[in-house]
Amino acid sequence: MIVGKLYVVGTGPGDPDLMTVKAQRVLRHVDVVVGYRTYVDLIEEILPEDVEIKRYGMREELDRAREAVRLAADGFEVALVSGGDPGVYGMAGVVLPIAVEEGVEVEVVPGVTAACAASALLGAPLMLDFAAVSLSDHLVPLEEILERVRAALEADFVLVVYNPNSSERRHIFEAFVDVLEEIVEEDRPVGIVRNAYRERQSVEVVRVRELRDLADRIDMRSILIVGSSRTRMVGDWLVTERGYSSRTGRNSSE
């Protein structure tokens, strides 16, 4: 009996150098690579010439997942690629239920999620408790998303925003800024990272009061990081301070 295997591979922020060693090795030995066109293009330089590549459009997650599972069930070694980490708003949760139904073996290969990539470029805004929300309302009602934004800000989490804006849901970005302006002080710093570790990368830190006017610079390939009450500029870096200088200097890092 031929037994295939499905790898769900996180390709990190975009630069193949920021994939894990394991992710690169998996992509170099599988029979087929399946993925969203943009992410496949970003990592194509490391793929062997003879690998079969199946590219899909942005909103064809279920099609991609079904094709990857079908190929693995047919006995192939298959890599389903997912930008960032495949478990954070990625492909792992889409494909696992289908793979279980078809009895296909799956391994999830983690990656550098966009929150960590953006954080590295900004400095260290995620040094204390943080929350991640996606402003895409395709599968989650807007009211529920905004409720979580509100709760995170009120509890003084650093807030990481995935999918912050797009031309077709500008109203969500506006509603998000409304909540921000209501809850945090107007000079709270907000990091905006666009195209992290890709062409046309931009990194800037603005204040909450400036955010509404910057909507045009914020899109689906951007990540916003809203600081907590302990987030400050240190030189050019955005840092959430844990109080080492003023306290005992004792703590446990990750």
For the segment 150-179, give every residue that binds a copy of itself (CB under 8 A).
Answer: 150-152, 154-157, 162-163
R_g (Cα) of the chain, nearest Å: 20
CB of 153 to a copy of itself, least distance (A): 10
Among positions 40, 126, 190, 211, the unique one binding a copy of itself when judged by CB under 8 A: 126
Would you say 63 and 37 are in contact if contact means Cβ atoms under 8 Å apart? no
Determine which residue in the list 32, 132, 208, 211 makes contact with a copy of itself, applying CB under 8 A.
132
Nearer to a copy of itself, 167 or 251 (CB): 251
Residues contacting residue 60 through CB under 8 Å, at least 6 positions apart: 36
Number of chain residues interacting with a copy of itself (CB under 8 A)? 94
Is residue 141 a contact point for a copy of itself (CB under 8 A)?
A: no
Neighbour count for residue 43 (Cβ, 10 Å) = 22
> What phi, psi does 214 have (nearest 5°)?
-100, 10
| Residue 31 Cβ vs a copy of itself, minimum distance, rounded to whole Å | 21
Site for a copy of itself in 35-64 (CB under 8 A): 36, 58-59, 61-62
Instruction: Based on the shown chain and the rule CB under 8 A, indicate whether residue 198 belongs to the binding site for a copy of itself.
Output: no
- Is there binding between residue 114 and a copy of itself (CB under 8 A)? yes
Which residues does 110 contact at the CB level (< 8 Å), separation at least 6? Answer: 10, 20, 85, 86, 87
Pick out residues in 203-222 that bind a copy of itself (CB under 8 A). 220
- Token couple for 105: 């073996």
Q: Which of 72, 109, 184, 193 binds a copy of itself (CB under 8 A)?
A: 109
Spatial separation of the C-alpha atoms in residues 180 and 215, rounded to whole Å: 14
